Amino acid sequence: MLDLNSLKTIGRYEIGKKLGQGSKGTVYLGTDPYIERQVAIKIYRLPNDNVAKEVKKYKKKFFTEAQLAGRLLHPNIVTVYDADLYEDLCYITMEYVDGATFDKYCKPNTLLPVEKVLEMVFSVCKGLEYAHQNSVIHRDIKPSNIILSSEGQIKITDFSIAYVKRSQPTLETGIFGSPSYMCPEQIKEEPITERSDLFSLGSVLYELLAGLKSFDGENEYAIMYKIVNEDPPQIFDLRPELPKIIGEILDKALAKDPSERYQSAMDFAYDLRLALHDVQNTPKESLDSELLNYIQALPFFHNFTESQINEILSVTDVIKVEGNKTIIQEGEIDDPFYILISGQVVVRKGKKVVTTLEKGQCFGEMAYLTGEARNASIATKNECILLKFSSTLLDGLSEPIQLLFFKNFTQTIIHRLSGST
Pairwise CA distance, residues 119 & 209, whole Å: 12
Q: From 53, 214, 197, 62, select the one nearest 130 (Cα to Cα).
A: 197
Q: Are the CB atoms for 178 and 199 separated by under 8 Å?
A: no
CB 346 within 8 A of CB 381: yes
- The answer to whether 31 and 39 have CB atoms below 8 angstroms apart is yes
Distance CA 122, CA 294 (A): 13
The SS3 call for residue 108 is: coil
Catalytic sites, residue numbers: 140
Query: What is the rounded distance in angstroms from the CA atom of residue 120 to the CA atom of residue 205?
Result: 9
CA distance 358 to 344: 5
Decide: residue 196, CB within 10 A, 0-12 exposed, 13-18 middle, 19+ buried.
Answer: buried
Closest residue by Cα to residue 22 from 203, 175, 155, 145: 145
DSSP bridge pairs for 79 = none
3-state secondary structure 233-261: CCHHHHCCCCCHHHHHHHHHHCCCCHHHC
Could you give the CA distance from residue 216 to residue 115 in angstroms, rounded to a whole number? Answer: 25
